[in-house]
Amino acid sequence: MYLITLFGNLLITLAISSDSHLHTPMYFFISNLSLVDICFTSTSVPKMLWNIQTQSKAITYGGCITQLHFFALFAGLETSLLTVMAYDRYVAICQPLHYMVIMNPRLCGLLVLLSWLLVVSLFYGTSLVVYLSSAVTQSSHSSATASVMYTVVTPMLNPFIYSLRNKDLKRALKRMLGMAAMKGQLVLGLKKCT
């Protein structure tokens, strides 16, 4: 699931950046969401996989605080980006003639930047309280199950939910994968000739 999350989100980001037709606000936000999903899952899943492999649940205090720091950062950033994406769709639907004027590249950049600092100020305190209070009130098994659901499953499904249902993005992925396959055949053909 972790590899699907990494490769799926990376593929979405590469497809959006490589196709000039997808350089619009909506795809800019989807690309950022894919990058955040990669970072979000990478904060805890590698350690979780290591723990499963070694049958050890040990973590240093510094490692725990660092992991919690980045987990809260990327969870808050994902929430903020989803809010920005909702605003983008609102403008596209309610003011379609003014969409490109309102959602200009400068505003898109500012909205992503605003999603970042908000995370630092708003989500650190609440995430820490929720995280610490859940350890006291719930069983460790139900906490572990919930953690896997929002740490692994949701970021894995985001490329399918937000991206792969889109015709333009599917076309860009096919074009990108087709060019990669064509380059691979060209390289193999050159190796045979030499």
**DSSP per residue, 72-117:** HHHHHHHHHHHHHHHHHHHHHHH-GGGHHHHT-HHHHHHHHHHHHH
Task: Evaluate whether 119 touches 108 at the Cβ level (below 8 Å).
Answer: no
Give me the pLDDT at residue 147, please.
Answer: 63
Reading the block at residue 47, the tokens are 């350690």
The candidate with the shortest Cα–Cα distance to 76, out of 31, 131, 24, is: 131
Whether the pLDDT of residue 64 is over 80: the answer is: yes
Confidence of residue 88 (pLDDT cuts 50, 70, 90): very high
Confidence of residue 128 (pLDDT cuts 50, 70, 90): low
Distance CA 24, CA 111 (A): 14
Give me the pLDDT at residue 185, please.
Answer: 63
Length of the chain: 194
What is this structure's pTM? 0.71
pLDDT-wise least confident of 7-16, 109-118, 144-153: 144-153
Q: How deeply is 52 buried, as exposed, middle or buried, from its count of CB atoms within 10 A (0-12, 13-18, 19+)?
A: exposed
SS3 of residue 165 by DSSP:
coil
Q: How far is CA 89 from CA 57, 86, 147, 150, 163, in A?
A: 43, 5, 30, 24, 14
- The whole-number average pLDDT for the span 102-126 is 73
Enumerate the domain spans of the chain.
2-193
Confidence of residue 111 (pLDDT cuts 50, 70, 90): confident
Confidence of residue 92 (pLDDT cuts 50, 70, 90): very high
The listed CATH number (3.40.630.10, 3.40.50.850, 1.10.150.670, 1.20.1070.10) that belongs to domain 2-193: 1.20.1070.10
pLDDT-wise least confident of 26-35, 74-83, 130-139: 130-139
For all residues of the chain together, what is the average pLDDT? 79
